[in-house]
Structure 1
Amino acid sequence: MDIHHLRENRRHGSPGVPVGLYRMERAAGDPILDNHWHEEAEFLAVESGEAVFQIGLSTYEVRAGEVLFIPGGELHGGYALNGAACTYAALVFDMEWLLSHGDSATLQVLEPIRRGRLLPEPHAVKDTELASALYSHLERLLSLEHSDDPAKPLRLKAGLYELFAEYVSRDAFSRSEPRSPLDAHTQERLKAVLTYIDTHYARKLTIKELAHEAGMSEGHFTRVFKSFMRKTPVEYINLLRIRIAAALLAERKTSVGEAALETGFDNFSYFCKIFRTVYQCTPSEYRQRNGGQG
């Protein structure tokens, strides 16, 4: 994911086959998955280790052999559980690709899922028939990541139908109440603020300004932000700025001072302090290790 964008703007797959297959290995203590969202739906399987994943305001402790379903448009992320290493795989896909005009599978299952009216169980727990079936299907699909099989598009589409068929055959749909319009509206307002931060990170941002953008009081905004993002607004902005600064140091002929100024830090000592906290080295050391010049 481009660190400049909380909302993923990358294309998953191709226009004709809008499916992305990804594997991520995270060492013990490493960040797992930054909070973000994309319009595509996603299946995520933990292959080894364990982690906590958050979908909206719900959190799930996910271990090897377990599967999550993440509806399109939902804020989601992950963080380490007990400092453990974790390897996970994701299949990100456009639900529209699976729809056929007027057929019963579309009308009764796929379209309601796409619209959020029917919710597959978000967490398929290990040692259940559902988890075993989903995990097996996903591993088979993920094995196609680098395949040049001419039948790959058909296998991917057929495999996605099989995944949803596992939910239908077991009636494995969430019995919890769907998100209230207020909850949905709150998440949309938060997304708007995150996009605003993404656009304006290089200048001074205040809680008052961000709360106004969200249409909330400062106190309520701060509580909502932390409940979704697991960071205060200031912590989130600092982390975003530092990661962008790190990219500038590694990829361009940018001095440490220029990187600080370009990412909204007007106090050089504070920039260096936050940078060291995130990367366990000084900005200059990071630059030298990652190919920066001079």
Structure 2
Amino acid sequence: MIEHLDGIHETVTYKENSSLRLFVNTDCEDYPIHWHTPMEIIMPLEGTYTVFLGDKPVLLQEGDIIFICPGILHSLVAPENGKRIILQIEWSVVSKIRDLNSILALISPVLTLTPQTAPDIYSDIYHLICQILSEYEEDSFLSEAVIYARMLDILSLIGRYQAFASCRFDAGPQKQKEYLDRFLSICNYIDEHCTEDLSLDQVAKTAGFSKYHFTRLFKQFTNTTYYKYLNRKRIDHAMLLLSDPDIPVTEAALQSGFSSLSTFLRVFRSVKQCTPTEFRDMYIHPEKQQKNP
């Protein structure tokens, strides 16, 4: 359930003295387009469940697991009958751990795991989520610490699996490991400095590669270009600024690292399928949100 929705921004009500929230949802209720700062994990226990990313549906079958990254616009459509685990966990608690932010680059905007798509890790992650549910319901001494420990296990499994499954570095095993470590660090660096003037030449030099070698390897690692990756991080930052009606759109663009308003408008529409003004209008006036078909 969504308890506090300000426009399209959900303020998650965590469990008391906690930074996470978990519930077994059986409501036949659709949730409008929204975003929030915690990561959200949904796993149907009975029946199906549909997650919309914009107008693109992701149909979850019983036992499928979806990870929705922080700040991603999404909506939810429930069937008449069903049951699903919904876990919202504050990302900032673990975001300072080395390499974890880079995992977001590997799974953003969402990652769906099924026994068919991830046979090597699905069973382990399924059982870890069940352990999290048990700890949450028992609410015993150090339960939250145990839950975050299980969550770190999940993220580590996903990070290693996604990194090695998606990366196709043209190199031997030792170089693969070296490149993986180096590009995880580079993604962390970009995440932390995305609002600054980060040229391709500068970041390639920081990584220790020529611009052309870096460009090829970065695309192999992230499955996107350097500037598309950088712009996505800048748009995520801009979304937070646009939620404040007192910050002009031009100022949000400049504070997010864009040198011109026209570039910001073009990139924002490309990433979020709406203009910054439309996004802000949805944030401030929830009645103007479009319903999914």
- For the superposition of Structure 1 and Structure 2, which TM-score range results when normalised by the shorter chain? 0.5 to 0.7
**1:43-83 deviation digits (Å, cap 9, x = unpaired):** 32222333332568976332221112233x322323338x6
Q: How high is the sequence identity, in percent, across the aligned residues?
A: 9
Of 77, 80, 95, the residue aligned with 1:80 is 77
When residues 149 and 123 of structure 1 are mapped into structure 2, their CA distance, relative to the original with a 3 A threshold, is same
Is 2:282–2:288's contact at 8 Å kept on the other side of the alignment?
no
In the alignment, structure 2 segments of 5+ residues that lack a partner are 167-221, 254-260
Structure 2 partner of 1:49: 47
When residues 234 and 22 of structure 1 are mapped into structure 2, their CA distance, relative to the original with a 3 A threshold, is same
C-alpha RMSD of the superposition: 4.6
When residues 187 and 113 of structure 1 are mapped into structure 2, their CA distance, relative to the original with a 3 A threshold, is same
Is 2:12–2:36's contact at 8 Å kept on the other side of the alignment?
no
Mapped pair 1:132 → 2:126: no
Of 66, 90, 102, the residue aligned with 1:94 is 90
Is 1:211–1:221's contact at 8 Å kept on the other side of the alignment?
no
Q: Distance in 2 between matches of 1:23 and 1:184?
A: 32
Q: Distance in 2 between matches of 1:154 and 1:160?
A: 10
**1:184-238 deviation digits (Å, cap 9, x = unpaired):** 3334434443443xx89xxxxxxxx979977459x96995597369xx7699479
Structure 2 partner of 1:123: 112
When normalised by structure 2's length, the TM-score is 0.54
Mapped pair 1:61 → 2:48: no
Cα deviation for residue 242 of structure 1 reads 8.2
Partner amino acid, structure 2, of 1:77: H
The residue matched to 1:75 in structure 2 has which SS? coil
The residue matched to 1:136 in structure 2 has which SS? helix
Q: Distance in 2 between matches of 1:84 and 1:113?
A: 37
The residue matched to 2:136 in structure 1 has which SS? coil
Q: Distance in 2 between matches of 1:84 and 1:195?
A: 37
When normalised by structure 1's length, the TM-score is 0.54
Is 1:44–1:88's contact at 8 Å kept on the other side of the alignment?
yes
Structure 2 partner of 1:111: 98
Specify the structure having the higher radius of gyration (Cα): 1
Structure 2 partner of 1:7: 9
When residues 5 and 238 of structure 1 are mapped into structure 2, their CA distance, relative to the original with a 3 A threshold, is closer
Structure 1 partner of 2:256: none
Cα deviation for residue 137 of structure 1 reads 1.4
Structure 2 partner of 1:259: none
Q: Distance in 1 between matches of 2:143 and 2:39?
A: 19
Structure 2 partner of 1:35: 34
Cα deviation for residue 97 of structure 1 reads 4.0
